[in-house]
Structures are given as C-alpha cells and as structure tokens.
C-alpha cells in the first residue's frame, strides 16, 4: 500500500481503480445495490464531458429534448431483437399511486422505442428530415456485477436519435457521431481511442451495424467508451416512422442512435491514473491549477496571501480554473499528496522567497518530482500556465498513445500466437471472418471477444485468412479482454 492507502496498479489494478475512485472523491457506493453516488468532484468531471459533447452536438445541428423515464412494456416488444437483448436487464414498475398497474412500465434501458413513437408522430414529410435529437438522461439496466462508473445499474448518458430519408444519410450520420466521440476522446480527454465496427455478435440489439470507440486501460483491457448505431429501418418499421418523399410516396425512415455515458469518467481514470492518484487532462480538469500557500508564521502568511490574492483574479479572468487551498490544519506536504490524488494538472506554490523574487513554483502532475517543478516569474504567468497546460494535455495523450501502441500486436502467424497475445493481456489485431462460431471459440478459450474492425485497416484492399477458422477474411479485427 502507498502512503495514502492506494493499492499499486501493479499489485491489483482492479483494487487500485476502486481505491482511486473513492479516495479522489469521484463516487461512492449507495444503499441501493448497483447504484452509485456521484460525488461533487466526479460530477464536475462529468459536467466537463457533457460540456465538451453538448457543444459538438449543437455544432452538428442536433437539438436536445426529453422523453419519459417510463416505457410501456409493450413498446419494447415491437422490435424483436431489441426486446430479446434488453428483457433480462429491465427494472419494472408494477405499482403506481398505491395501485397495481394494468400494464407494467419499464424504466428506460435506452429510448429507441419511445422516441420512435414520437418520431412517428412528428415526421410526415421529407421536409421534416433529417430529425436530429439528443437526450441527456439517466437509464437503468439491471446488473448484478457492478463497478463504479464502468458498469452500474443506473447510469447517466446522452442518447442521440436521428431519422433520415435514405440509408446513406443514416450511415453518414452514424459515422459523423462516431467521429464526434473520437474527437472528444482524443482532444479533450486525451484518450487515443480506436474507432471501428462491432462484429455481428457484438452489435446493439436491433441495429443493422454498430460502431464504437475502444479505449485501452492501463491494465491492457479494452473499454468500449461510446457507440454509434445504424438502425436501418428496423425501428422505423416497428414504430411506423414514415414520410412522404419528393414524389409523394410513403417511405420508412432510416434511423440512428448513439450514446456515451458516465463510463467515460472511468475511462479517464484508467487511461491516465498512476499509483499517486488521478492525472486529469487540463481540458477536463475541474481544477487546472491548485495554489498552495507556504508559510511558517503569521509574519510570512501576510505577504504570501497578498501575492496570491493579486494573482487569483488575473488567472480567473484568463479563464483558468483555479483553487486556493487555504486549509489551516494541514501541512503543505499533505496538500501536495491530496491534490496529486485528485489529479490536478498543475500545482502552484507561493512562499516567502517567491514573494521576494517575484516568482512562483509550478509542479506538473504528469512529470513526478523535481523534473516536473520549475520556478517561473509572476510576470507573464497566464501565458506560462497556458503553455504548460497545452504541454500537459499533449503529454498525457502521447503517453497514452505510446502505452496503447506498445500493447497492440498484429498477429497473422497462428491461432496459438493469437490466443497467447490475448491471454497475455494485450490486444491482437488479426484477420477475422466475423462469424459467430469463430467469435465463440475465442470467447470460450480466453473470455475475450472481438473489440472492433478498426476503420483504419492496416492493409486496406487486401484480404487474409481468418486467424481462427482459416477461411477468407476481408478485414482485420482487434481482440482483447474487456470491461
């Protein structure tokens, strides 16, 4: 155990994760099995995710709306695959206002059905298309084995739902939103996700094609961090979402849905964290710079706090998110550890010498010890901090990319080598026919499934032999253990 009672990653990654989430005050268990409490610091991180995505959704023409939490049980049954996929995971309200309900209400596990009902009502003509809607909401899927942020019975997410006049339009939208997720993950969360298509076995219940962004955690496991589905006409036919086209003929719409959840908070923790705690990319950090005053007595305190009070509005006005740690009973050393645990990208120390020298000390969270610490002038401090923020953001992405790339292996030699890579906790990229028996064989052997056929194929235009069955395969897929 480290000083702060965190299990080292190398000892037990799973316990490390749980320790960090609780000690960094991100989330807590609740008295309801499977449901978590998102604490203020964790919720601020989620607000950052929401902000980054919502801006991108609006910039691509989507509007937010809100649909009922409860869905009539009969709605789920209208799309055969959909109900089969979700039936085992449902929470069902059977009593309302003291009376047993005639038709039970399902707590939404996802909203394709009820939004499909609304689209059927709202869409008449090709002029109503595309219909581009997003919802920020809570959803419930009955889970027995839960983990904070990664898999909880209730979670927060956004679910986009769109309707289009043609298959092509729906496919363009599906890929556009996968691109939005990829862009957010890379550029805001500093997570070098791999976008790709899910295998037929792993697609969403009711979808024609599912796409996902797959992230590599620091234990080598994959975390599906966002999904985008081309639903074809499946839901349009189940809910009679129709429009009259330009020739005045009645057509079924083509729909999509796409979602990203509080799981992203877990992805940030497990992509960047180390044994000292969280490491947050500056763009996501609720606090970007924590200021720790250093003094031994009241005589030193005065000038130190005066300097800090002069610097604070300058930094705040520049849009830098700061926090001054004025807690009186705690030592600077304790505070350093505390803010390292919380992953604050930059620590600023201001002591009597700094007051005298017109300087401050800046310590980077991403470079431990003295190598990451420098004394800089108070003049031009905003620019200095901005430059460092950019560097830290880039460095975290680079470190995560290096880590990822060193654990990806293209395997074409043999099935045994392929299995060995997966069993070794790494990702194998191999030719894959995509068929169910092959996927099941790997799952039986390793408990790992295919992650995706990456959009960025290493040998475009070529074909190969499926690493599992030896039949012809048109694409390579990643296989890895996953959360």
CA atoms within 13 A on the CB side of 361: 17
Torsion over CA: 215, 218, 221, 223 (sign)? negative
Q: Closest distance between its own copies and the C-beta of residue 55, in Å? A: 13
Q: Is 96 in the site for its own copies (CB under 8 A)?
A: yes
Q: Closest distance between its own copies and the C-beta of residue 302, in Å? A: 24
- One character per residue 30-59, x = contact with its own copies (rule: CB under 8 A): xxx--xxxxxx--xx-xx------------
Smallest CA-to-CA distance from 217 within 462, 345, 407 is with: 407
Q: In the set 20, 21, 105, 260, which binds its own copies (CB under 8 A)?
A: 105
Q: Closest distance between its own copies and the C-beta of residue 72, in Å? A: 6
Q: In the set 12, 55, 61, 93, which binds its own copies (CB under 8 A)?
A: 93
Q: Is 77 in the site for its own copies (CB under 8 A)?
A: no
Candidate segments 86-94, 264-272, 394-402, 420-428, binder of its own copies by CB under 8 A = 86-94
Per the listing, tokens 């908070």 go with 265
Q: In the set 17, 75, 157, 211, which binds its own copies (CB under 8 A)?
A: 75
Q: Which is nearer to its own copies, 141 or 198 (CB)?
A: 141
Q: Is 88 in the site for its own copies (CB under 8 A)?
A: yes
Q: In the set 12, 28, 81, 84, which binds its own copies (CB under 8 A)?
A: 28
The contacts of residue 409 (CB under 8 Å, 6+ apart) are: 421, 426, 427, 428, 429
The contacts of residue 249 (CB under 8 Å, 6+ apart) are: none
Q: Is 312 in the site for its own copies (CB under 8 A)?
A: no
Q: In the set 121, 353, 436, 459, which binds its own copies (CB under 8 A)?
A: 121
- One character per residue 287-306, x = contact with its own copies (rule: CB under 8 A): --------------------
Q: Closest distance between its own copies and the C-beta of residue 44, in Å? A: 7
Q: Closest distance between its own copies and the C-beta of residue 257, in Å? A: 17
Euclidean distance between CA atoms 433 and 450, whole angstroms = 11
Q: In the set 90, 150, 360, 362, which binds its own copies (CB under 8 A)?
A: 90
Q: Is 239 in the site for its own copies (CB under 8 A)?
A: no
Torsion over CA: 223, 226, 231, 236 (sign)? positive
Here the tokens at position 193 are 């996700």
Q: Which is nearer to its own copies, 34 or 282 (CB)?
A: 34
Q: Is 98 in the site for its own copies (CB under 8 A)?
A: yes
Distance of CA 38 to the CA centre of its chain: 15
Q: Which is nearer to its own copies, 36 or 193 (CB)?
A: 36
The contacts of residue 268 (CB under 8 Å, 6+ apart) are: 45, 189, 191, 278, 280, 281, 284
Smallest CA-to-CA distance from 402 within 223, 276, 271 is with: 271
CB 205 within 8 A of CB 464: no
CA atoms within 13 A on the CB side of 238: 24
CB 17 within 8 A of CB 277: no
- 284-321 burial, b at 16+ Cβ within 10 Å, e below that, comes to bbbbbbbbbbbbeeeebeebbbebbeebeeebeeeebb
Q: Which is nearer to its own copies, 106 or 278 (CB)?
A: 106
Q: Closest distance between its own copies and the C-beta of residue 163, in Å? A: 14
Q: Which is nearer to its own copies, 93 or 367 (CB)?
A: 93
Q: Closest distance between its own copies and the C-beta of residue 309, in Å? A: 18
How many residues touch its own copies under the rule CB under 8 A: the total is 53
Q: Which is nearer to its own copies, 93 or 318 (CB)?
A: 93
Euclidean distance between CA atoms 174 and 220, whole angstroms = 28
Q: Where are the strands (E) in 241-378, listed by range? A: 242-244, 250-252, 254-261, 289-293, 322-324, 346-350, 359-364, 373-377
Q: Closest distance between its own copies and the C-beta of residue 293, in Å? A: 18
User: For residues 149-208, which are near its own copies according to CB under 8 A?
Assistant: 154, 156
Q: Is 89 in the site for its own copies (CB under 8 A)?
A: yes
Q: Closest distance between its own copies and the C-beta of residue 156, in Å? A: 7
Q: What DSSP assignment string belongs to 270-302?
A: HHH-BTTB----TTT-S-SEEEEE--SSHHHHH
Between CA 53 and CA 268, with CA 179 as vertex, the angle to 5 degrees is 55
Q: Closest distance between its own copies and the C-beta of residue 31, in Å? A: 6
Q: Closest distance between its own copies and the C-beta of residue 144, in Å? A: 7
Counting Cβ atoms within 10 Å, is residue 478 exposed (0-12), middle (13-18) or buried (19+)?
Answer: buried
Q: Closest distance between its own copies and the C-beta of residue 142, in Å? A: 4
Q: Is 447 in the site for its own copies (CB under 8 A)?
A: no
Q: In the set 144, 250, 356, 371, which binds its own copies (CB under 8 A)?
A: 144
Q: Closest distance between its own copies and the C-beta of residue 361, in Å? A: 28
Binding site for its own copies (CB under 8 A): 28, 30-32, 35-40, 43-44, 46-47, 63-72, 75, 87-98, 104-105, 107, 114, 117-118, 121, 133, 137-138, 140, 142-144, 154, 156
């Amino acid at each position: 155990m480290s000083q702060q009672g965190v299990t080292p990653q190398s000892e037990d990654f799973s316990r490390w994760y749980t320790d960090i989430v609780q000690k960094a005050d991100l989330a807590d268990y609740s008295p309801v099995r499977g449901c978590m409490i998102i604490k203020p610091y964790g919720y601020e991180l989620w607000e950052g995710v929401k902000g980054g995505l919502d801006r991108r959704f609006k910039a691509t023409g989507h509007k937010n709306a809100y649909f009922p939490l409860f869905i009539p049980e009969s709605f789920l049954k209208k799309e055969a695959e959909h109900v089969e996929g979700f039936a085992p995971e449902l929470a069902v309200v059977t009593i309302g206002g003291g009376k047993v309900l005639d038709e039970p209400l399902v707590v939404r596990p996802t909203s394709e059905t009820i939004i499909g009902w609304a689209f059927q009502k709202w869409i008449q003509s090709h002029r109503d298309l595309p219909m581009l809607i997003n919802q920020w909401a809570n959803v419930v899927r009955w889970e027995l084995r839960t983990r904070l942020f990664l898999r909880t019975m209730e979670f927060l997410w956004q679910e986009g739902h769109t309707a289009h006049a043609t298959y092509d339009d729906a496919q363009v939208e599906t890929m556009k939103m996968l691109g939005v997720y990829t862009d957010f993950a890379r550029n805001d969360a500093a997570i070098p996700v791999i976008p790709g298509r899910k295998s037929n076995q792993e697609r969403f219940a009711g979808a024609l094609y599912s796409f996902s962004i797959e992230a590599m955690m620091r234990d080598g496991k994959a975390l599906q961090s966002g999904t985008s589905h081309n639903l074809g006409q499946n839901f349009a036919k189940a809910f009679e979402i129709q429009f009259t086209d330009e020739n005045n003929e009645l057509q079924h719409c083509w729909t999509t849905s796409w979602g990203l959840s509080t799981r992203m908070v877990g992805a940030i923790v497990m992509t960047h964290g180390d044994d000292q705690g969280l490491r947050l990319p500056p763009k996501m950090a609720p606090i970007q710079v924590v200021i720790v005053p250093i003094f031994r007595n009241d005589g030193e305190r005065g000038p130190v706090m005066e300097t800090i009070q002069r610097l604070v509005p300058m930094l705040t006005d520049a849009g830098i998110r700061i926090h001054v740690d004025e807690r009186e009973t705690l030592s600077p050393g304790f505070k350093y550890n505390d803010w390292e645990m919380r992953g604050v990208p930059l620590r600023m120390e201001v002591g009597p010498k700094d007051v005298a020298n017109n300087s401050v000390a800046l310590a980077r969270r991403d470079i431990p010890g003295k190598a990451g610490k420098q004394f800089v002038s108070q003049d031009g401090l905003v620019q200095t901090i901005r430059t460092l923020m950019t560097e830290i953001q880039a460095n975290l992405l680079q470190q995560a990319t290096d880590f990822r790339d060193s654990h990806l292996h293209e395997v074409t030699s043999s099935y045994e080598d392929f299995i060995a890579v997966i069993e070794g906790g790494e990702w194998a990229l191999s030719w894959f026919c995509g068929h169910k028996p092959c996927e099941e064989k790997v799952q039986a052997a390793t408990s790992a499934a295919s992650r995706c056929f990456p959009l960025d194929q290493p040998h475009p235009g070529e074909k190969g032999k499926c690493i599992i069955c030896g039949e012809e395969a048109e694409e390579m897929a990643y296989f890895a253990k996953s959360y």
